[in-house]
Amino acid sequence: MRSAAPICLVVAFALPAAAQDAPRASEILDAARAECIADVKAADPNAPTPELLVENEALSFWDLDEDGAEDDAILDFNFVFCSLNYALWHGSGGSIIHVIHNGTTSRSWTGGLWQVATFNESPVLLIGRHGTWCDGYGAQPCIQAIALFEEGHSTVRDPLPLEERPAQ
């Protein structure tokens, strides 16, 4: 958990121009802004209206499904904050990483670091997740791979090794 507010924040009043290519990113940020305001007002109805702070690193564009268009996007809430409640969306497991396909649909995972790597000459998204998702402790290495293809997001749903699977 971040215990202190970052010193230098950029208040984004408008998304980068490239966000036009990902209407889903705008939807997610609009919903986050509403959630931020509702959260602060619920705690104190007299509080000033908070702002949604979006750092430049929050949104990046990729061609993860290899359709030739950089219209897939990562919207990383590790770089998005509610100005009057920095804990909102942020915990020991990182924040919410939204993976947007073709600009319009998304799936989300919690995590801290992520990177786009290359596997068999195709891009694959790797997300560093809280160790409890690997049945371990918080700082244990725990990495999930997610691929995008024409029908959407693809990741392992039953990761148990053969030795730990129930007997058939």
**What distance in Å separates the CA atoms of residue 47 and residue 83, rounded to the nearest whole number?**
12
Kindly state whether residue 65 participates in binding Ca ion, applying the rule CB under 5 A.
Answer: yes
Specify whether the CB–CB gap between 132 and 85 falls below 8 A.
no
User: Is residue 70 near Ca ion by the rule CB under 5 A?
Assistant: no
Cβ closest to Ca ion, residue 151 vs residue 163: 151
- Contact call for residue 95 and Ca ion (CB under 5 A): no
The count of other CB atoms within 10 Å of the CB of residue 167 is: 3
Task: Mark the segment that binds Ca ion (CB under 5 A) among 3-11, 66-74, 86-94, 132-140.
Answer: 66-74
Residue 55 binds Ca ion, judged by CB under 5 A: no
**Using CB under 5 A, which of 12, 72, 89, 130 touches Ca ion?**
72
The answer to whether 78 contacts Ca ion (rule: CB under 5 A) is: no
How far is residue 128's CA from residue 14's CA, in Å, rounded to a whole number? 29
- Tell me if 99 contacts Ca ion by CB under 5 A: no
The letter for the amino acid at 92 is S
* Shortest Cβ 116–Ca ion spacing (Å): 13
Among 39, 67, 83, 147, binds Ca ion (CB under 5 A): 67
Angle at alpha carbon of residue 163, lines to 131 and 130, rounded to 5°: 5
Element (H, E) at 30: helix 23-43
| Interface with Ca ion (CB under 5 A) | 65, 67, 71-72, 102
